[in-house]
Amino acid sequence: MKSLFLVGLFFALAHHLATAADDDDVTTSQLMRDAARIIEMARQGDNIEAGRQADVVFRSAARLHQEKEDISSLEMYEHALRLSPWSVEHYLGYADVLKSLGRDEKAEHWVRSAFQRAEDLGTREKARKWLGLPSSAVLPAYSREGRLRICLVRIGQPPDWLVHRCGIGLENTMGIPVMLLDEKIALPQSNRSAFRRWASQLRKDIKWNDPGLAQFARQHGLPSGDLSDHQVVELVEALIAEARPPEELANFRRTKLQLKESKYDEQWDVEKLLELVKAHANESDDPDVIWLGISSKDLFTGDSNYCFGAAAGPPMCGVNSCARFMADFNQEPPDAERLCERLLKQMLSSVGTLLRVPRPIDPTCPRSYPQSLAEHDAKTLNLCPDCRTVILSNTGKAVPPLPDKVFEKVSSPK
């Protein structure tokens, strides 16, 4: 079989993806050998590659703790943390070992760090319980009573702790009561995906009219027409395996793996999500409410690469996403407070738009338009005097001064 069905296939060069084997499949001695190899790699000076594979060292440390080898576990954790100090998800494991060894004070230091930093609910909650902190304040449920109010609506499964905390922040910064809708809007299918775009490119490159193709597809257990994206990728993979050099196949497989495993591969059209929020708003027929949808999915609009959110009315509706504010999206150290601030700035921006407040010129106002995440980060949480003036005249309510503790629950404004 020759590569008759393929013309000018484009292969993106994907960087190496370390695939983590399932923990249970690996024996302790194998794990220890792998960890030792990675530690040695760092000792020889290749800290970058060793850092990339630090997960294996963390897993070895956790395994040693499981097997009650706490002195060795401690040492292994310290190797791992030296390789990858921002792996916040492992801080609690390290603290567990410290506690087993009676080093309570040091253990607490790491738990506190995990609580301050972690952006995932699991780590945050475990750390909070360990520290004996009260559970965080929650938003009241939506009710029809009162004048101008903001109601947050979860689209899919955004992190609950983040939604509540930012909702409280929004109430504190705007002086408008914020509630949470109990029911969630189900997340529809994504509208765009790098994997799908790649598959459609491959689809174009296949010579569908070639008489040998149908037979070749059948031989590989694939239908000869109407192939799904995954089947197209399978077919091209088989063709490359048959007719092209092994390096090409390796490249192809790496690209496939990378695109399939990327957590943020898919994107949603913000206009479509906005329609869903609007449908809910129309149904509930409560003209004093600003409905603000919150999603953890990556959004785009029109031809843009991405967007943080959108807002339009009436009815007053917005959609904001935290996807691009997450540490794992940007491959930066986790920082729970920074995440809250980023989302809150976006919420203030959307709410302002819905209250017909023009974009300000002060770049430090949370409502100014950022060209990048760096510019978004450079904004403050303090609404500028121009925004405050227009909000007062459009709502009849003054924006309160920025509180010291933006995300802490204070007595609700009346």
Which residues lie near Zn ion (CB under 5 A)? 360, 365, 367, 384, 387
Q: Closer to Zn ion by CB, 310 or 384: give it.
A: 384
Distance of CA 47 to the CA centre of its chain: 26
Q: How far is the CB of 385 from Zn ion (least distance, A)?
A: 8
Shortest Cβ 368–Zn ion spacing (Å): 7
What's the min distance (Å) between Cβ of 341 and Zn ion? 16
Angular region, 404: left φ>0, alpha ψ -120 to 50, beta rest: alpha
Nearest to Zn ion of 298, 341 (CB atom): 341
Sequence-distant (≥ 6) Cβ neighbours of residue 238 within 8 angstroms = 216, 220, 222
Of the pair 124, 388, the CB lying nearest Zn ion is at: 388
Residue closer to Zn ion by CB (options 154, 345) is 345
- Would you say 174 or 240 has its CB closer to Zn ion? 174
DSSP per-residue string spanning 330-378 = HT----HHHHHHHHHHHHHHHHHHHTTPPPPS-TTSTTSPPSSHHHHHH
User: What's the rounded Cα separation, in Å, for the pair 92 and 43?
Assistant: 26
Sign of the dihedral defined by the CA atoms of residues 59, 63, 69, 70, in that order: positive
* Residue written as token pair 């996807």: 323
CA separation for the pair 28, 63 (Å, rounded): 7
Residue 405 CB, nearest approach to Zn ion (Å): 21
State the nearest-atom distance from the C-beta of 407 to Zn ion, in Å.
20
Choose among 263, 262, 328, 268: nearest CA to 293: 268
Q: What backbone phi and psi angles, to 5 degrees, belong to 137? A: -65, 150
Min CB(344)–Zn ion separation in Å: 14
Largest CA distance in the chain: 76
Give whichever of 237 and 362 is closer to Zn ion, judged by the CB atom.
Answer: 362
What per-residue string of b and e applies to 279-298 under the rule 16 or more CB within 10 Å gives b? ebbeeeeeeebbbbbbbbbb
State the distance between the two ends of the chain, measured CA to CA, in whole angstroms: 76
Nearer residue to Zn ion within complex by CB, 120 or 386: 386
* Least distance CB 382 / Zn ion (angstroms): 9
- Least Å distance, CB 170 to Zn ion, is 15
Q: Which is nearer to Zn ion, 293 or 352 (CB)?
A: 352
Instruction: Supply the minimum distance, in Å, between the C-beta of residue 42 and Zn ion.
Output: 48
> Using CA atoms, how far apart are residues 47 and 32, in angstroms rounded to an integer?
19
Query: Minimum distance from CB of 309 to Zn ion (Å)?
Result: 17
Eight-state DSSP code of residue 382 = S
Please say which residue, 111 or 174, places its beta carbon nearer to Zn ion.
174
Q: Give whichever of 290 and 323 is closer to Zn ion, judged by the CB atom.
A: 290
Residues ≥6 apart with Cβ < 8 Å to 277:
153, 155, 185, 291, 292, 293, 317, 318, 319
For 115, the token pair is 């609580």
